[in-house]
Protein backbone atom coordinates (compact mmCIF):
# COMPACT_ATOMS: atom_id res chain seq x y z
CA UNK A 1 0.00 0.00 0.00
CA UNK A 2 2.70 2.38 1.13
CA UNK A 3 4.77 1.63 -1.99
CA UNK A 4 1.71 2.39 -4.12
CA UNK A 5 1.34 5.77 -2.52
CA UNK A 6 4.96 6.69 -3.20
CA UNK A 7 4.72 5.72 -6.84
CA UNK A 8 1.55 7.80 -7.25
CA UNK A 9 3.43 10.75 -5.79
CA UNK A 10 6.36 10.18 -8.16
CA UNK A 11 3.95 9.93 -11.06
CA UNK A 12 2.45 13.29 -10.23
CA UNK A 13 5.88 14.87 -10.44
CA UNK A 14 7.18 13.26 -13.63
CA UNK A 15 4.11 13.13 -15.85
CA UNK A 16 3.19 16.71 -16.60
CA UNK A 17 0.29 18.07 -18.58
CA UNK A 18 0.82 18.72 -22.25
CA UNK A 19 -0.34 22.29 -21.55
CA UNK A 20 2.56 22.79 -19.10
CA UNK A 21 5.06 21.69 -21.74
CA UNK A 22 3.48 24.02 -24.32
CA UNK A 23 3.67 26.93 -21.92
CA UNK A 24 7.41 26.59 -21.43
CA UNK A 25 8.26 25.80 -25.04
CA UNK A 26 5.95 28.08 -27.08
CA UNK A 27 7.84 30.32 -29.49
CA UNK A 28 11.23 29.01 -28.35
CA UNK A 29 11.50 25.35 -29.31
CA UNK A 30 9.34 22.34 -30.13
CA UNK A 31 8.69 19.32 -27.94
CA UNK A 32 9.23 15.99 -29.71
CA UNK A 33 6.15 13.75 -29.73
CA UNK A 34 7.28 10.19 -30.34
CA UNK A 35 5.01 7.21 -31.06
CA UNK A 36 5.82 4.08 -29.12
CA UNK A 37 4.62 0.50 -29.50
CA UNK A 38 6.84 -1.73 -27.39
CA UNK A 39 9.33 -2.00 -24.54
CA UNK A 40 12.50 -1.45 -26.58
CA UNK A 41 11.19 1.77 -28.09
CA UNK A 42 10.07 3.00 -24.67
CA UNK A 43 13.48 2.36 -23.10
CA UNK A 44 15.27 4.04 -26.04
CA UNK A 45 12.92 7.02 -25.84
CA UNK A 46 13.40 7.62 -22.10
CA UNK A 47 17.15 7.08 -22.34
CA UNK A 48 17.52 9.42 -25.34
CA UNK A 49 15.49 12.16 -23.65
CA UNK A 50 17.34 11.92 -20.33
CA UNK A 51 20.70 11.84 -22.16
CA UNK A 52 19.76 14.97 -24.12
CA UNK A 53 17.98 16.55 -21.12
CA UNK A 54 14.77 17.14 -23.05
CA UNK A 55 11.09 16.95 -22.10
CA UNK A 56 8.98 14.83 -24.43
CA UNK A 57 5.52 13.66 -25.33
CA UNK A 58 4.78 9.94 -25.58
CA UNK A 59 2.20 9.30 -28.27
CA UNK A 60 0.03 6.22 -28.29
CA UNK A 61 -1.98 5.59 -31.43
CA UNK A 62 -5.08 3.46 -31.71
CA UNK A 63 -2.99 0.82 -33.45
CA UNK A 64 -0.34 0.85 -30.71
CA UNK A 65 -3.01 0.44 -28.02
CA UNK A 66 -4.32 -2.61 -29.90
CA UNK A 67 -0.93 -4.12 -30.84
CA UNK A 68 -0.27 -5.76 -27.49
CA UNK A 69 -2.84 -4.23 -25.18
CA UNK A 70 -3.33 -0.67 -23.96
CA UNK A 71 -2.79 -1.85 -20.36
CA UNK A 72 0.55 -3.34 -21.34
CA UNK A 73 1.74 -0.01 -22.78
CA UNK A 74 0.59 1.88 -19.70
CA UNK A 75 2.46 -0.55 -17.45
CA UNK A 76 5.59 -0.24 -19.61
CA UNK A 77 5.44 3.56 -19.37
CA UNK A 78 4.94 3.49 -15.60
CA UNK A 79 7.92 1.15 -15.23
CA UNK A 80 10.09 3.30 -17.50
CA UNK A 81 9.17 6.26 -15.36
CA UNK A 82 10.51 4.48 -12.28
CA UNK A 83 13.67 3.52 -14.14
CA UNK A 84 14.26 7.08 -15.38
CA UNK A 85 13.11 9.35 -12.52
CA UNK A 86 14.70 12.37 -14.21
CA UNK A 87 12.38 12.20 -17.24
CA UNK A 88 9.66 14.81 -17.68
CA UNK A 89 6.94 13.87 -20.15
CA UNK A 90 3.28 13.93 -21.08
CA UNK A 91 1.19 11.04 -22.44
CA UNK A 92 -0.95 11.75 -25.48
CA UNK A 93 -3.44 9.85 -27.64
CA UNK A 94 -2.48 10.25 -31.31
CA UNK A 95 -5.25 10.46 -33.97
CA UNK A 96 -8.17 9.43 -31.81
CA UNK A 97 -11.76 8.95 -32.86
CA UNK A 98 -14.45 10.06 -30.42
CA UNK A 99 -14.80 6.68 -28.71
CA UNK A 100 -11.05 6.23 -28.18
CA UNK A 101 -10.75 9.81 -26.86
CA UNK A 102 -13.40 9.09 -24.21
CA UNK A 103 -11.69 5.84 -23.25
CA UNK A 104 -8.40 7.71 -22.72
CA UNK A 105 -10.03 10.65 -20.93
CA UNK A 106 -11.78 8.28 -18.52
CA UNK A 107 -8.65 6.15 -17.95
CA UNK A 108 -6.93 8.89 -15.92
CA UNK A 109 -3.60 8.03 -17.58
CA UNK A 110 -3.46 10.53 -20.43
CA UNK A 111 -2.33 14.16 -20.29
CA UNK A 112 -3.99 15.00 -23.61
CA UNK A 113 -5.90 13.48 -26.50
CA UNK A 114 -6.11 14.22 -30.18
CA UNK A 115 -9.51 14.10 -31.83
CA UNK A 116 -9.06 13.76 -35.56
CA UNK A 117 -12.29 14.66 -37.32
CA UNK A 118 -10.43 16.44 -40.11
CA UNK A 119 -12.02 14.17 -42.73
CA UNK A 120 -15.46 15.48 -41.82
CA UNK A 121 -16.86 18.75 -43.18
CA UNK A 122 -15.89 21.91 -41.23
CA UNK A 123 -19.07 22.18 -39.11
CA UNK A 124 -19.15 18.48 -38.32
CA UNK A 125 -15.45 18.58 -37.35
CA UNK A 126 -16.29 21.44 -34.97
CA UNK A 127 -19.29 19.60 -33.50
CA UNK A 128 -17.29 16.42 -32.77
CA UNK A 129 -14.23 18.29 -31.49
CA UNK A 130 -16.36 20.44 -29.16
CA UNK A 131 -17.95 17.35 -27.58
CA UNK A 132 -14.50 15.89 -26.87
CA UNK A 133 -13.18 19.22 -25.56
CA UNK A 134 -16.06 19.54 -23.09
CA UNK A 135 -15.53 16.05 -21.73
CA UNK A 136 -11.71 16.38 -21.59
CA UNK A 137 -11.64 19.82 -19.98
CA UNK A 138 -13.96 18.62 -17.23
CA UNK A 139 -11.08 16.32 -16.23
CA UNK A 140 -8.22 18.77 -16.81
CA UNK A 141 -7.08 17.05 -20.01
CA UNK A 142 -6.11 19.09 -23.06
CA UNK A 143 -7.26 18.45 -26.60
CA UNK A 144 -5.46 18.63 -29.93
CA UNK A 145 -7.69 18.83 -32.99
CA UNK A 146 -6.95 18.78 -36.70
CA UNK A 147 -8.02 21.19 -39.39
CA UNK A 148 -6.95 20.82 -43.00
CA UNK A 149 -5.80 17.48 -44.36
CA UNK A 150 -2.38 15.91 -44.49
CA UNK A 151 -1.55 13.47 -47.25
CA UNK A 152 -0.05 10.03 -46.71
CA UNK A 153 -0.91 6.91 -44.77
CA UNK A 154 -1.33 6.80 -40.98
CA UNK A 155 -2.55 3.44 -39.73
CA UNK A 156 -6.16 3.16 -40.98
CA UNK A 157 -6.26 6.70 -42.42
CA UNK A 158 -5.11 7.21 -45.99
CA UNK A 159 -5.32 10.50 -47.88
CA UNK A 160 -4.02 10.78 -51.41
CA UNK A 161 -2.07 13.90 -52.34
CA UNK A 162 -4.80 15.48 -54.47
CA UNK A 163 -7.22 15.48 -51.52
CA UNK A 164 -4.69 16.83 -49.02
CA UNK A 165 -5.23 20.54 -48.29
CA UNK A 166 -3.41 23.17 -46.29
CA UNK A 167 -5.07 24.74 -43.24
CA UNK A 168 -6.80 28.05 -43.93
CA UNK A 169 -5.73 30.53 -41.17
CA UNK A 170 -9.15 32.28 -41.11
CA UNK A 171 -10.89 28.95 -40.64
CA UNK A 172 -8.32 28.04 -37.97
CA UNK A 173 -9.36 31.06 -35.88
CA UNK A 174 -13.06 30.21 -36.19
CA UNK A 175 -12.31 26.55 -35.43
CA UNK A 176 -10.38 27.41 -32.26
CA UNK A 177 -13.03 29.85 -31.09
CA UNK A 178 -15.94 27.47 -31.64
CA UNK A 179 -14.28 24.32 -30.26
CA UNK A 180 -12.08 25.69 -27.45
CA UNK A 181 -9.42 23.09 -28.30
CA UNK A 182 -5.97 23.66 -26.82
CA UNK A 183 -3.70 23.04 -29.78
CA UNK A 184 -4.12 22.79 -33.51
CA UNK A 185 -2.78 20.10 -35.80
CA UNK A 186 -2.39 22.18 -38.94
CA UNK A 187 -1.68 20.96 -42.45
CA UNK A 188 1.47 22.86 -43.43
CA UNK A 189 2.68 20.76 -46.33
CA UNK A 190 3.81 17.58 -44.59
CA UNK A 191 2.33 14.09 -44.88
CA UNK A 192 2.50 10.87 -42.89
CA UNK A 193 4.74 7.93 -43.73
CA UNK A 194 8.04 7.40 -45.52
CA UNK A 195 6.96 8.75 -48.91
CA UNK A 196 6.32 12.40 -48.27
CA UNK A 197 8.14 14.35 -50.89
CA UNK A 198 10.07 13.76 -54.04
CA UNK A 199 12.97 16.17 -54.31
CA UNK A 200 13.32 19.27 -52.17
CA UNK A 201 10.17 20.67 -50.63
CA UNK A 202 9.76 23.19 -47.84
CA UNK A 203 7.24 23.62 -45.04
CA UNK A 204 4.53 26.19 -45.68
CA UNK A 205 5.83 28.76 -43.21
CA UNK A 206 3.27 31.26 -44.51
CA UNK A 207 0.45 29.06 -43.11
CA UNK A 208 2.09 28.90 -39.66
CA UNK A 209 2.65 32.66 -39.68
CA UNK A 210 -0.88 33.24 -40.97
CA UNK A 211 -2.42 31.26 -38.08
CA UNK A 212 -0.21 33.00 -35.51
CA UNK A 213 -1.07 36.48 -36.83
CA UNK A 214 -4.82 35.90 -37.28
CA UNK A 215 -5.08 34.40 -33.78
CA UNK A 216 -3.34 37.48 -32.36
CA UNK A 217 -5.53 39.83 -34.40
CA UNK A 218 -8.62 38.08 -32.99
CA UNK A 219 -7.37 38.84 -29.46
CA UNK A 220 -6.93 35.16 -28.60
CA UNK A 221 -4.02 33.73 -26.66
CA UNK A 222 -1.29 32.12 -28.83
CA UNK A 223 -2.19 28.70 -30.19
CA UNK A 224 0.42 25.93 -30.05
CA UNK A 225 0.55 24.42 -33.53
CA UNK A 226 1.22 20.72 -33.96
CA UNK A 227 3.21 19.47 -36.92
CA UNK A 228 2.23 15.96 -37.99
CA UNK A 229 4.22 14.00 -40.54
CA UNK A 230 7.50 15.48 -39.32
CA UNK A 231 9.89 12.62 -40.02
CA UNK A 232 12.89 13.54 -42.15
CA UNK A 233 13.29 10.11 -43.81
CA UNK A 234 17.11 10.36 -43.89
CA UNK A 235 18.54 9.24 -47.21
CA UNK A 236 21.40 7.45 -45.42
CA UNK A 237 18.89 5.36 -43.48
CA UNK A 238 16.96 4.42 -46.64
CA UNK A 239 20.24 3.50 -48.38
CA UNK A 240 21.37 1.27 -45.47
CA UNK A 241 17.99 -0.48 -45.34
CA UNK A 242 18.07 -1.12 -49.07
CA UNK A 243 21.70 -2.32 -48.91
CA UNK A 244 20.53 -4.88 -46.34
CA UNK A 245 17.73 -6.24 -48.53
CA UNK A 246 15.01 -3.57 -48.17
CA UNK A 247 13.10 -2.17 -51.11
CA UNK A 248 12.21 1.36 -50.04
CA UNK A 249 11.83 4.03 -52.71
CA UNK A 250 15.28 5.67 -52.75
CA UNK A 251 13.84 9.01 -53.88
CA UNK A 252 11.61 9.36 -50.78
CA UNK A 253 12.23 12.55 -48.78
CA UNK A 254 10.88 13.94 -45.53
CA UNK A 255 10.95 17.26 -43.69
CA UNK A 256 14.28 19.05 -43.61
CA UNK A 257 15.38 18.85 -39.96
CA UNK A 258 16.82 22.36 -40.21
CA UNK A 259 13.24 23.65 -40.61
CA UNK A 260 12.05 22.35 -37.20
CA UNK A 261 13.47 25.25 -35.20
CA UNK A 262 12.38 28.10 -37.52
CA UNK A 263 8.88 26.56 -37.44
CA UNK A 264 9.03 26.35 -33.63
CA UNK A 265 9.86 30.05 -33.38
CA UNK A 266 6.61 30.76 -35.27
CA UNK A 267 4.48 28.63 -32.94
CA UNK A 268 4.96 24.97 -33.88
CA UNK A 269 5.24 23.55 -30.35
CA UNK A 270 4.73 19.80 -30.86
CA UNK A 271 6.50 17.86 -33.60
CA UNK A 272 5.23 14.33 -34.29
CA UNK A 273 7.81 11.74 -35.28
CA UNK A 274 7.04 8.09 -35.93
CA UNK A 275 8.34 6.96 -39.33
CA UNK A 276 12.00 7.88 -38.65
CA UNK A 277 11.95 5.63 -35.57
CA UNK A 278 10.55 2.77 -37.64
CA UNK A 279 13.39 3.28 -40.12
CA UNK A 280 15.91 2.93 -37.27
CA UNK A 281 14.24 -0.35 -36.24
CA UNK A 282 14.23 -1.67 -39.82
CA UNK A 283 17.86 -0.72 -40.46
CA UNK A 284 19.13 -2.28 -37.21
CA UNK A 285 17.27 -5.56 -37.71
CA UNK A 286 17.96 -5.92 -41.44
CA UNK A 287 21.68 -5.27 -40.96
CA UNK A 288 21.88 -7.55 -37.93
CA UNK A 289 20.30 -10.55 -39.61
CA UNK A 290 22.13 -9.92 -42.90
CA UNK A 291 25.46 -10.00 -41.02
CA UNK A 292 24.50 -12.87 -38.68
CA UNK A 293 22.27 -15.14 -40.72
CA UNK A 294 22.59 -18.00 -38.24
CA UNK A 295 21.34 -15.88 -35.31
CA UNK A 296 17.81 -16.35 -33.97
CA UNK A 297 17.92 -14.63 -30.59
CA UNK A 298 16.01 -11.36 -30.78
CA UNK A 299 17.78 -9.83 -27.78
CA UNK A 300 21.13 -8.91 -29.40
CA UNK A 301 19.47 -6.81 -32.16
CA UNK A 302 16.99 -5.52 -29.56
CA UNK A 303 19.87 -4.20 -27.49
CA UNK A 304 21.43 -2.50 -30.53
CA UNK A 305 18.03 -1.02 -31.38
CA UNK A 306 17.59 0.48 -27.89
CA UNK A 307 21.02 2.15 -28.15
CA UNK A 308 20.42 3.39 -31.70
CA UNK A 309 16.92 4.61 -30.89
CA UNK A 310 18.23 6.54 -27.86
CA UNK A 311 20.86 8.20 -30.09
CA UNK A 312 18.23 9.00 -32.71
CA UNK A 313 15.95 10.59 -30.09
CA UNK A 314 18.78 12.70 -28.64
CA UNK A 315 19.67 13.86 -32.16
CA UNK A 316 16.05 14.87 -32.90
CA UNK A 317 15.75 16.75 -29.62
CA UNK A 318 18.87 18.69 -30.61
CA UNK A 319 17.24 19.69 -33.91
CA UNK A 320 13.96 20.60 -32.17
CA UNK A 321 15.76 22.84 -29.69
CA UNK A 322 14.34 20.92 -26.70
CA UNK A 323 17.69 19.37 -25.72
CA UNK A 324 19.11 20.88 -22.54
CA UNK A 325 15.81 22.42 -21.40
CA UNK A 326 14.93 19.83 -18.74
CA UNK A 327 16.01 21.88 -15.68
CA UNK A 328 13.90 24.84 -16.83
CA UNK A 329 10.91 22.60 -17.56
CA UNK A 330 11.15 20.85 -14.22
CA UNK A 331 11.25 24.19 -12.43
CA UNK A 332 8.22 25.47 -14.36
CA UNK A 333 6.31 22.26 -13.62
CA UNK A 334 7.08 22.66 -9.92
CA UNK A 335 9.17 19.47 -9.74
**CA-wise closest residue to 259 among 196, 329, 175, 184:** 196
The answer to whether residues 330 and 88 touch, using CB atoms and an 8 Å cutoff, is: yes
- Of 230, 269, 317, 322, the one binding ligand 13P by CB under 6 A: 230
- Of 81, 144, 274, 308, the one binding ligand 13P by CB under 6 A: 274
Task: Give the footprint of ligand 13P on residues 40-99 (CB under 6 A).
Answer: 94-95
- Of 100, 231, 282, 322, the one binding ligand 13P by CB under 6 A: 231
Alpha-carbon distance values, 332 to 24, 57, 91, 125, 278 (Å): 7, 16, 18, 34, 33
The whole-angstrom separation of Cα 58 and Cα 93 is: 8
- Closest CB 274 distance from ligand 13P, rounded Å: 4
Find the helix packing angle between 39-51 and 70-83, rounded to 10°.
30
Asked if 270 is part of the footprint of ligand 13P (rule: CB under 6 A), the reply reads: no
Asked if 229 is part of the footprint of ligand 13P (rule: CB under 6 A), the reply reads: yes
DSSP-assigned beta bridge partners for residue 20: none
- Of 65, 92, 228, 316, the one binding ligand 13P by CB under 6 A: 228
Q: Is 213 a catalytic residue?
A: no
Asked if 273 is part of the footprint of ligand 13P (rule: CB under 6 A), the reply reads: yes
- 67-101 in b/e form (b: 16+ CB < 10 A) is eeebeebbebbbebbeebeebbbbbbbbbbbeebb
**Of 142 and 275, CB closest to ligand 13P:** 275
- Of 183, 275, 317, 325, the one binding ligand 13P by CB under 6 A: 275
Asked if 237 is part of the footprint of ligand 13P (rule: CB under 6 A), the reply reads: no
Q: Identify the active-site residue in 94, 182, 274, 276.
A: 94
User: Phi then psi for 320, rounded to 5 degrees?
Assistant: -80, -15
> How far, in whole angstroms, is CA 248 from its chain's centroid?
23
**Of 62 and 330, CB closest to ligand 13P:** 62
Mark the segment that binds ligand 13P (CB under 6 A) among 11-19, 97-105, 215-223, 269-277: 269-277
Task: Give the footprint of ligand 13P on residues 179-218 (CB under 6 A).
Answer: 192-193
The whole-angstrom separation of Cα 167 and Cα 227 is: 12
Strand 56-61 relative to strand 197-198, pairing: unpaired
**Of 74 and 155, CB closest to ligand 13P:** 155
Residues that bind ligand 13P (CB under 6 A): 35, 94-95, 192-193, 228-231, 272-276
Active-site residue list? 94
Amino acid sequence: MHKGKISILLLAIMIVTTAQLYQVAYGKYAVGAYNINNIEQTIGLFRGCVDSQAPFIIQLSKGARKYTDKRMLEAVIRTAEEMFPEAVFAVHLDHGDEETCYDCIDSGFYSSVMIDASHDPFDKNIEITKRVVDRAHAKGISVEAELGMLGGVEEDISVDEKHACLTNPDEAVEFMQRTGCDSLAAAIGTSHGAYKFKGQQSLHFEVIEGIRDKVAAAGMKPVPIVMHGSSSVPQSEVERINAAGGKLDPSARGVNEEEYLPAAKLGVTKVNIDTDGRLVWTRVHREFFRDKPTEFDFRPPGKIFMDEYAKFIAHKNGKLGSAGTLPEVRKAAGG
